[in-house]
């Protein structure tokens, strides 16, 4: 994650693009790229793991769009002064507490639907 963040910082510095990369713009760019990922899935119905039937070109396009999402996400976090690698670990620990395996095994219900 840190390597990707650093490479994108170099990319924007080299082009004097930090002037355009404020948090709101990065968020809009991120959402736009999520839209491009969605476009690849739209009208296909359910898609199984591994994307059976997808061409190599479609798979490569998906890899590109997912990469764009990650690049903008990491830069957005940086410009918001969020240490994303650390934050993700903290959040995953919280998720484990919120969804104990013994309690939720095999169920996709949201935590608010579980009564003690
Ligand atoms: N102002 C910009 C423009 C681009 N990029 C970088 C980050 C993304 O990884 C990628 C996005 O490029 P495009 O906006 O050209 O989007 P796509 O690559 O998805 O092209 P297209 O929209 O034609 O599919 O380039 C960036 O950091 N800042």
* Residue 27: closest CA among 85, 69, 84: 69
Supply the pLDDT for residue 111: 84
| Residues contacting residue 90 through CB under 8 Å, at least 6 positions apart | none
Structure pTM? 0.95
Q: What is the ipTM of this complex?
A: 0.97
32, pLDDT greater than 90 = yes
How many angstroms is it from 44 CA to the middle of ligand 1? 25
91 Cα–ligand 1 center, Å: 29
Residue minimizing CA distance to atom 15 of ligand 1 = 68
Which pLDDT belongs to residue 114?
A: 81
Domain ranges of the chain: 2-104
Residue from 23, 63, 68 whose mutation best tests the ligand 1 pocket (most atoms within 8 A of CB): 68
Mean pLDDT of 71-75: 98
Q: How many angstroms separate the alpha carbon of residue 10 from the centre of ligand 1?
A: 15
Residue 27 CB coordination number (10 Å): 15
> What pLDDT shows up at residue 112?
86
- Ligand 1 centroid to Cα of residue 56, in Å, is 21
- Binding site membership of 111 for ligand 1 (Cβ less than 6 Å): no
Find all residues with CB under 8 Å of 83, minimum gap 6, and list them: 77
pLDDT at 116 over 70: no
Q: Crossing angle of helices 56-79/2-14, nearest 10°?
A: 80
Instruction: Say whether domain 2-104 belongs to CATH 1.10.287.1080.
Output: yes
Q: Is the pLDDT of residue 102 over 70?
A: yes
Top pLDDT among 40 and 116 is at 40
Q: What is the pLDDT of residue 115?
A: 72
Q: According to the model, what pLDDT value does residue 58 have?
A: 98
């Amino acid at each position: 994650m840190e390597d990707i963040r650093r490479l994108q910082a170099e990319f924007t510095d080299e082009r004097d693009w930090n002037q355009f990369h404020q948090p709101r713009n990065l968020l809009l760019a991120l959402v736009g790229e999520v839209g491009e990922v969605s476009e690849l899935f739209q009208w296909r119905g359910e898609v199984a793991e591994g994307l059976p039937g997808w061409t190599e070109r479609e798979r490569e396009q998906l890899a590109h769009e997912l990469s764009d999402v990650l690049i903008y996400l990491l830069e957005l976090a940086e410009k918001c002064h969020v240490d994303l690698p650390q934050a993700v670990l903290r959040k995953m620990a919280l998720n484990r507490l919120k969804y104990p395996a013994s309690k939720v095994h095999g169920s996709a219900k949201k935590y608010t639907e579980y009564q003690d």
